[in-house]
Amino acid sequence: MQYFSTNHQSPEVDFKQATINGQAPDKGLYFPERIPIVSKELIENISQYSNEEIAYQVMKPYVGDTIPEDELRRIVGETIQFDIPLVKVTDRIYSLELYHGPTLAFKDVGARFMSRCLGYFVKQSESNLGKNKKVTVLVATSGDTGGAVANGFYEVEGVEVVILYPSGKVSSVQEKQLTTLGKNIHALEIDGTFDDCQQMVKQAFTDEQLKQNLFLTSANSINVARWLPQQLYYFLAYKLWADKNNPPVIAVPSGNFGNICAGILAFQSGLPVQHFIAACNANDVVPNYMQTQDYVPKNAVATISNAMDVGNPSNFIRILEIFQHQFTNLAAVFSSCSISEELTKSTLASVYKNHHYLLDPHGAVGFSALDQYLQSHPDQKGIVLETAHPVKFYDAVEPVIGQSVPIPTAIQHQLTLEKNSIKMEAKSESLKSFLLQLSGT
């Protein structure tokens, strides 16, 4: 499988090169040259397949021959090594809980897959990556990404990870997830905002001296190795869906639109889905686009579902690419709506009160969007993707339900560990000298 750039100014590359590059040199996003069709056999008998076999079958064509079969089977097995249950919330709405991974975020799947692929590529061909250069993953985070990347890359041989986060602006759970691992994970606590962190990372990627001394790569959500494995949620949801004759409507809390775009890719490759809803918070660029066919990026506004506070979603171009920029085809299976803060909170409260199910703010946005859609489609049922554990957003959740959220045992221990971060001013030079020191120059 080859990948082209959505800007069409860069050469096509294979999965390995696309993973290593992250973004195409022309600043476009990599996109597969064709969408593989999954076997009818698999779809019709999906309940009889193991999750690992489904994952292998789905990912195989995208990876091509860049990773041998036994390695890829190991990688996908480790990627989905936790529960992904489908929980009934109401008669017509089910929640696919994607938060049982090690950092309680759905981003664990993408981060685990990418880290293992990159780890394999580094081990297998150091010459390709530049001899004697350490492979260093550099990433800025506003919260969830950093934890998933840190955990995913922890102890991956030959890869150092440097994570920049804005001091005082991530939740205490998120900060512990970033700063307590150690070993090959370095957490830089930046005296500034998320935008400052991102600016510093961008600057580092263009620095000639750094390029000569390190092999720098990014682990953000546009990387194909983070984007593509998200298709697995949708296949695994369908495996658990009881009424195979009436496929689900799927609502996806969306920010950068990587997750929902992977779902639509799964649909195009043969997975039965009734309809996709991109559920957005007040950041409504895509809902507006679906009304006007005019794509107008905005500055992000802050909400309680902060992982979706994105004003110019980078993966939306990939959705347009799937439909070859034909709006009618897109609108036939996809809609998008914007949910206010007020409605997010009242949904969270009422679902808890009436159905004894605790959503997080992102899941509440998705639930609300799905509920609205189903009201005008009485014959259909749906799934909301619950993208984070409510405890990660307890500052927002607790006042709404008037109760504290119990900490899952999986992370209790981590919360007792000592934070270990390196404080840094928001200056590119400071990051540069840190990276040069890390590379041993």
The active-site residue, picked from 40, 60, 88, 107, is 107
Check if the beta carbon of residue 377 is closer than 8 Å to that of residue 361. Answer: no
Under the binding rule (CB under 6 A), the answer on residue 110 touching ligand PLP is no
Nearer to ligand PLP, 134 or 176 (CB): 176
CB of 163 to ligand PLP, least distance (A): 15
Widest CA span in the chain: 65
Q: What is the CA radius of gyration of the chain?
A: 21
Give the nearest distance from C-beta 393 to ligand PLP in angstroms: 8
Residue 127: partners with Cβ closer than 8 Å, 6 or more residues away: none
Determine which residue in the list 59, 104, 105, 424 makes contact with ligand PLP, applying CB under 6 A: 105
Q: Does 387 bind ligand PLP (CB under 6 A)?
A: yes
State how far the alpha carbon of 427 is from the alpha carbons of 137, 143, 185, 199, 318, in Å. 19, 20, 21, 9, 33
- Using the rule CB under 6 A, give the single segment among 39-47, 89-97, 248-256, 296-304 that binds ligand PLP: 248-256
CB nearer to ligand PLP: pick between 196 and 386: 386
- Residue 58 CA from chain centroid, whole number: 18
Q: Which of 307, 384, 391, 435 binds ligand PLP (CB under 6 A)?
A: 307
First to last CA, the chain: 38
For 359, phi then psi, to 5°, come to -90, 160
Q: How many CA atoms lie within 13 A of 389 on its CB side?
A: 20
d(CA 255, CA 387): 11
Which range of residues in 162-170, 175-183, 192-200, 249-257 is near ligand PLP by CB under 6 A? 249-257
Residue 107 annotated as catalytic: yes
The smaller minimum CB distance to ligand PLP, of residues 17 and 336, is found at: 336
Among 101, 119, 255, 382, binds ligand PLP (CB under 6 A): 255
Task: Decide: is 144 part of the binding site for ligand PLP (CB under 6 A).
Answer: yes
Query: Least distance from C-beta 121 to ligand PLP, angstroms?
Result: 24
The 10 Å Cβ neighbour count of residue 387 is 29
Token code pair at residue 125: 């061909």
- Please tell me the distance from the alpha carbon of residue 271 to that of residue 238, in angstroms, as a whole number: 8
Among 150, 163, 300, 388, binds ligand PLP (CB under 6 A): 388
Tokens encoding 311: 């004003």
Q: Between residues 31 and 121, which has the closer beta carbon with respect to ligand PLP?
A: 31
CB of 140 closer than 8 Å to CB of 426: no
Give the containing element (helix H, strand E) for 341. helix 341-355
Site string for ligand PLP, 160-189 (x = CB under 6 A): ------------------------------
Cα–Cα distance measured from residue 55 to residue 101, given in angstroms and rounded to the nearest whole number: 16
Residue 256 makes contact with ligand PLP by CB under 6 A: yes
* Helix/strand/coil for 328: helix
Position 107 contacts ligand PLP (CB under 6 A): yes
| Sole binder of ligand PLP in the list 17, 136, 254, 303 (CB under 6 A) | 254
Q: Which stretch binds ligand PLP (CB under 6 A): 252-260, 319-327, 328-336, 338-346?
A: 252-260
* Stretch binding ligand PLP (CB under 6 A), from 17-25, 34-42, 257-265, 282-290: 257-265
Q: How many residues bind ligand PLP (CB under 6 A)?
A: 16
Separation between Cα atoms, residue 49 and residue 239, nearest integer Å: 9
* Binding span for ligand PLP by CB under 6 A among 197-205, 247-255, 269-277, 409-417: 247-255
Q: Smallest gap, in angstroms, from Cβ of residue 149 to ligand PLP?
A: 12
b/e 326-339 (16+ beta carbons within 10 angstroms → b) = eeeebeeebbbbbb
Query: CB 126 → ligand PLP: shortest distance, Å?
Result: 32
Query: Of the two residues 24 and 388, which places its CB atom closer to ligand PLP in the complex?
Result: 388
Give the shortest CB-292-to-ligand PLP separation in angstroms: 21
Q: 165 and 197 in contact (C-beta within 8 Å)?
A: yes
Say how far apart CA 434 and CA 315 lie, in whole Å: 31
Residue (46 or 237) nearer to ligand PLP, CB: 237
Residues forming contacts to ligand PLP in the complex (CB under 6 A) are: 105, 107, 144, 221, 253-259, 307-308, 362, 387-388
Q: Catalytic positions, please?
A: 107
